[in-house]
Amino acid sequence: MKKPRILLVSTAHPATDPRIVFRQCPTLAGQYDVTCALPNADASVCAGVQFWRLPYFRRVWWRVLLVSPLVLVRGLWLRPAVVQIFVPELIPVALIFRLFGIRVVYEVQENLYKKMHLKTQNRGVVLEQAFYRFDQLARRYFYLIFTEHGYLNTYTDLAKPSAIIYNYPLLPFLEPFRQTYRPDKTNPSFLLIGLLSEARAFDTMVGALTQIKSDYPDFVVHLFGKKTFTDDWMRSLPGFTDVKENLRFYGYTDQRMALTYAAHATAGLALLKPVGDYPDSYPTKLFEYMALGLPVITSDFPLYRDVVEQHGCGLCVPPANPMAIVHALRYLIENPAEAAAMGDQGRRAVEMMYNWKTEAAKLTGFYCTLLPK
């Protein structure tokens, strides 16, 4: 029997986005005919999935005016049973799909009601008002997927079924990068994967690293993520000049490259300040560090402490307190046996609770409600 056809589409996510390309696409491809449309899509990254290569524009208005019509035309030609969108700018196109009898799933990956003011680009009165209006229509006409349970505090008036599907790691994907914990105590290294911003405590981290350098002058921090601040702001941070040679900036990179730097790392860093939706949202990298057997240093939000302290897999610190970060860094450097135990406990926790296997079952179950046999 012919499989139902599904179109996953984003005009903003990278071609190797881990959640879309390495988790959701393979999960759904087992039961459905899956096509995925992404900017600069690479057909070789996921077997059994058809990829459409979309053009990419940094400005949201260009994406709406030039890319969304392309998605609409090609999507109607494909005639999928379901279209799943990952960015709010595609809501207008998705409403048109719905007029043709196509069911729409809208995945909410960030709570813009709490986060809009943190945006450094693609914001303004017109965009904000458009988002609020179209988001209300999405609540009325679309099936919704949330990546965090905290979003339900905002999205309370939903007309159709929804699901919470966490961004937990896919263990088979990470397994080739997991090694026995052997950090370099003399020249320690740390791993940070994710956006680099003031809201993600980059300034506090620099302040802490200036203190670490006095005892460990050759430490290294590997930073994989897009910088949302200017170089002038970065250079103006107290102590940045002292530690700039210890920081390795790679920009946004295919995660498979970034994960190779977990070998010999002392810890994984996931520090966020209490702004926007951060206190209510798990940092995805927290669970990926745990899956790799790395101890974690993260913010002391209650949501994060429930994971880290329950499983003894790292240290939670106030994200605006450089000395607290210093103490955490030094503890893990100087106590490798305890750090290794934290890494082992984190790995076991991911194997038992925080892995994609459980979320994959929720995703396929959710689709069964949309496309009953």
DSSP-derived secondary structure for 37-48? EEET--TTSSTT
Q: Is the dihedral of CA 332, 338, 343, 349 positive or negative?
A: negative
Torsion, Cα 23 26 30 35, to 10 degrees, reads 120
Answer yes or no: are the C-beta atoms of 93 and 17 closer than 8 Å: no
Answer yes or no: are the C-beta atoms of 212 and 322 closer than 8 Å: no
Of 321, 284, 317, nearest to 301 by C-alpha is 317
Rounded to 5°, the CA angle 310-283-308 comes to: 15
Residue 361: enclosing H or E segment and its boundaries?
Answer: helix 356-370
Query: What domains sit in the chain, N to C, each tagged with a CATH number?
Result: 5-168+356-370 (3.40.50.2000), 172-352 (3.40.50.2000)
Position 123 scores a pLDDT of 65
Residue 33: enclosing H or E segment and its boundaries?
Answer: strand 33-39
Q: Calculate the alpha carbon distances from 50 to 6, 36, 45 in Å.
A: 10, 6, 10
Strand bridging mode 314-317 / 143-146: unpaired
Position 373 scores a pLDDT of 63
Answer yes or no: are the C-beta atoms of 296 and 314 closer than 8 Å: yes
Position 115 scores a pLDDT of 72
Q: How many Å apart are CA 134 and CA 209, to the nearest integer?
A: 44
Start-to-end C-alpha separation, the chain:
11
Position 121 scores a pLDDT of 63
Q: How many Å apart are CA 289 and CA 296, to the nearest integer?
A: 7
Ranges under pLDDT 50 in the chain: none
Of 213, 188, 178, 181, nearest to 334 by C-alpha is 188
pTM of the model: 0.90
Of 194, 348, 162, nearest to 281 by C-alpha is 194
Half-sphere exposure in the Cβ direction for 144 (13 Å, CA): 26
Residue 262: partners with Cβ closer than 8 Å, 6 or more residues away: 177, 178, 179, 191, 268, 289, 292, 294
Position 43 scores a pLDDT of 80
